[in-house]
Chain A
Amino acid sequence: MELQARLNEIFCEVFDDDDINIAPEMTANDVDGWDSLSHVNLIVAIESKFNIRFNQKELLTFKNVGDLLNCIASKI
């Protein structure tokens, strides 16, 4: 499955919303309920599903879904 589609599934699961359709330019303001608490859940879910580990610097510089996708792509 394509990376974006796999990430989309994780988003739907974490935010409990099947209608989410992620795009690279999407930010926390575009997803209902994407606050600091759900963000950490999202990160933990991504790390576990893709079996990767983000470092602090990466986690503090994600500006949008595109940054997240690029970082995942560089690790798998």
Chain B
Amino acid sequence: MAFNSLTYFLFLPLIWIVYQWAPDRLRWLLLLAASLGFYAMLKAPYLLVVLCLAAGVTFTVGLRLGSCSDETGRKRLLWVGVGANLLVLVSLKYLPALFFSFNPSLFIFNGFANFSPITFHALITIGISYYVFQAISYLADIYLEIIEPEPHFGHLFLSLAFFPKLLQGPIERSGDLLPQLKKPYVFDYDMARSGMLLFAWGLFKKVVVADRLALFVNTVYGDVHAYTGLPLILATYFYALQIYFDFSGYTDMALGSARLFNINLTRNFNAPYLATSVADFWRRWHISFSRWILDYIFKPLQMSWRGWGLAGTAVALLVTFLVSGIWHGASWGFVVWGGLHGIYLASSVYYKSWQKKIHKVLGIEKTRLLKVWQTILTFNLVSFAWIFFRANSLADALYVVRHLVEGIGRVRAMLFAHGTTELIVALLMLAVPLLVKTLAVTSKRLDMPFCLPIPLRWAVYCLLVISLSLFSVDSGRAFLYFQF
């Protein structure tokens, strides 16, 4: 079930109430049953078997890794565990698409559209890639002797399947999550309060801001050939904002849900569009995922190729981000998106030292102007790559790229496609999170709005609820990152 569905609005409080009454020794069981029930409601019960099997293999291999002292044996066990998890991912995510609708001329997968309901294809992989990534990270951390294997199958299974982060992450490290799941529960008013607010805030970002921006984005990206120039640029910028508010909104709802159970999940976003370089962007965007690919793909590759000098790091970056693109889906659009980020980062390996020297010579090293320029440039580089991520096909993406700089085009048709009121509401609602962020940063109070006096704080709560009921676009719209 989705976080923005009525079912979840009933499910979450119900589980929370039962959790308050449950004895500590049974709490893990309650959360595990709730997580599996939550997943089963996706109407793909066979996936539960997959989750159980993957957890079983991960648990067994983890225990054996922990007790094995022979290095060759440990390496072999690691590869067995990683291989089994990758097999699950590949067989569910890539093989069906390859088998049923591979179009070699375009390398575009049409899902199961001609085979069975489209929902089957959409459901088949939900959460699996996040689940598998966490299982691999658990095994790798045991191999690297960063953590001990978990002796309790139920606890490990829960750490992999905990419902707030099961469908779209954050990708948690077992070392961070397992100890929290084992701690005795004591009701914490501040945690519960901040959890509920974060949940409501995430919902606002999703159903009020992201879904409204989607109206404009879909108008253009649904029929790119009807537009040239400025509307294509605006739709791309809007998409950059849409995907941020959609995904970070989801993450806020995940973190908020987990806080109700005294669990702190990893922060996944840190003002990514204020990044001053693409490398900085990846330290702020989908942080749990970028940490994962950095630790388990980039670093081992970089170290293996350390004898190649700068080229070793550049090639490792390129390969890592190509893998990241393919992880998002088997289509050329994602491959080009990952490849572009790989090229941005790989080229910076060569020009970085020169860039520093030039800034030093010009005396602009630590100026505000340079920072602003770098932020704008990074946002544009990232937005350019989003074209390939969003376009319905590679041909559409290439059309957008070729017609980006062609005057103002049908900009009015794009902006007023849904009426003047919708445009004004969109701009006003977009201003809310920007204003909140600015206030929190300038006042240096990260505990906003809890630091406000009671009347003002309640005014914020009321405004949030009112805007949610008045300005929600369509609560049935799925989260963008569900498909990955």
Q: Which residue of the partner chain, among B145, B298, B306, contacts A44 with CB atoms under 8 Å?
A: B306
Q: Which residue of the partner chain, among A36, A37, A57, contacts B144 with CB atoms under 8 Å?
A: A57
Q: How far is the CB of B86 from chain A (nearest CB, A)?
A: 19
Q: How far is the CB of B304 from chain A (nearest CB, A)?
A: 7
Docked CA distance A40–B56 (Å): 37
Question: Which parts of B292-320 form the interface with A (CB within 8 Å)?
Answer: 294-295, 298-300, 302-304, 306-307, 310, 312-313
Interface string of A7-43 (1 = CB under 8 A from B): 0000000000000000000000000000011001001
Smallest Cβ-Cβ distance to B348: which chain A residue: A37
Interface string of B113-139 (1 = CB under 8 A from A): 000000000000000000000000000
Is the C-beta of B457 less than 8 angstroms from some C-beta in chain A? no
In contact, B303 and A61 (Cβ under 8 angstroms): no
Asked whether A61 and B304 contact (CB < 8 A) given A36-B313, A37-B313, A40-B313, the answer is: no
In contact, B307 and A60 (Cβ under 8 angstroms): no
Docked CA distance A60–B306 (Å): 13
> Which residues of chain A are within 8 angstroms of B294 by Cβ–Cβ distance?
36
Is the C-beta of A71 less than 8 angstroms from some C-beta in chain B? no
Is the C-beta of A56 less than 8 angstroms from some C-beta in chain B? yes
Is the C-beta of A5 less than 8 angstroms from some C-beta in chain B? no
Can you report 5 A-B residue pairs in the complex whose CB atoms are below 8 A from each other? A36-B313, A37-B349, A40-B303, A60-B299, A61-B145
Interface residues on A, range: 10 to 19
Smallest Cβ-Cβ distance to B349: which chain A residue: A37
Interface string of B333-375 (1 = CB under 8 A from A): 0000000000000000100100000000000000000000000
Is the C-beta of A52 less than 8 angstroms from some C-beta in chain B? no
Asked whether A60 and B144 contact (CB < 8 A) given A40-B306, A44-B306, the answer is: yes
Question: Which parts of A39-71 form the interface with B (CB within 8 Å)?
Answer: 40, 43-44, 56-57, 59-61
Is the C-beta of B146 less than 8 angstroms from some C-beta in chain A? yes
> Which residues of chain B are within 8 angstroms of A57 by Cβ–Cβ distance?
143-144
In contact, B144 and A61 (Cβ under 8 angstroms): yes
Instruction: Give 14 A-B pairs besides A36-B299, A60-B144 with Cβ atoms closer than 8 angstroms.
Output: A36-B298, A37-B310, A37-B313, A40-B302, A40-B306, A40-B312, A56-B303, A57-B143, A57-B144, A59-B299, A60-B295, A60-B303, A61-B144, A61-B146
Question: Which residues of B come within 8 Å of A, CB atoms?
Answer: 143-146, 294-295, 298-300, 302-304, 306-307, 310, 312-313, 349, 352
In contact, A56 and B304 (Cβ under 8 angstroms): yes
Chain B binding surface, main DSSP class:
helix
Residue with the greatest number of chain B CB neighbours at <10 A, chosen from A36, A43, A61: A36
Docked CA distance A3–B307 (Å): 24
Docked CA distance A60–B294 (Å): 11
In contact, B349 and A56 (Cβ under 8 angstroms): no
Q: How far is the CB of A19 from chain B (nearest CB, A)?
A: 18
In contact, A36 and B302 (Cβ under 8 angstroms): yes
Asked whether A37 and B306 contact (CB < 8 A) given A60-B144, A60-B300, A61-B144, the answer is: no
Q: How far is the CB of B76 from chain A (nearest CB, A)?
A: 14
Q: How far is the CB of B312 from chain A (nearest CB, A)?
A: 7
> Which residues of chain A are within 8 angstroms of B298 by Cβ–Cβ distance?
36
> Which residues of chain B are within 8 angstroms of A60 by Cβ–Cβ distance?
144, 295, 299-300, 303
> Which residues of chain A are within 8 angstroms of B313 by Cβ–Cβ distance?
36-37, 40
> Which residues of chain A are within 8 angstroms of B302 by Cβ–Cβ distance?
36, 40
Q: How far is the CB of A33 from chain B (nearest CB, A)?
A: 9
> Which residues of chain A are within 8 angstroms of B145 by Cβ–Cβ distance?
61
In contact, B300 and A56 (Cβ under 8 angstroms): yes
> Which residues of chain A are within 8 angstroms of B146 by Cβ–Cβ distance?
61
Docked CA distance A40–B304 (Å): 10
Q: How far is the CB of A62 from chain B (nearest CB, A)?
A: 11
Residue with the greatest number of chain B CB neighbours at <10 A, chosen from A56, A60, A61: A60
> Which residues of chain B are within 8 angstroms of A37 by Cβ–Cβ distance?
310, 313, 349, 352
Smallest Cβ-Cβ distance to A47: which chain B residue: B306
Smallest Cβ-Cβ distance to B140: which chain A residue: A60
Docked CA distance A57–B300 (Å): 9
In contact, B303 and A43 (Cβ under 8 angstroms): yes
In contact, A59 and B303 (Cβ under 8 angstroms): yes
Residue with the greatest number of chain A CB neighbours at <10 A, chosen from B294, B299, B304, B349: B299
> Which residues of chain B are within 8 angstroms of A40 by Cβ–Cβ distance?
302-303, 306, 312-313
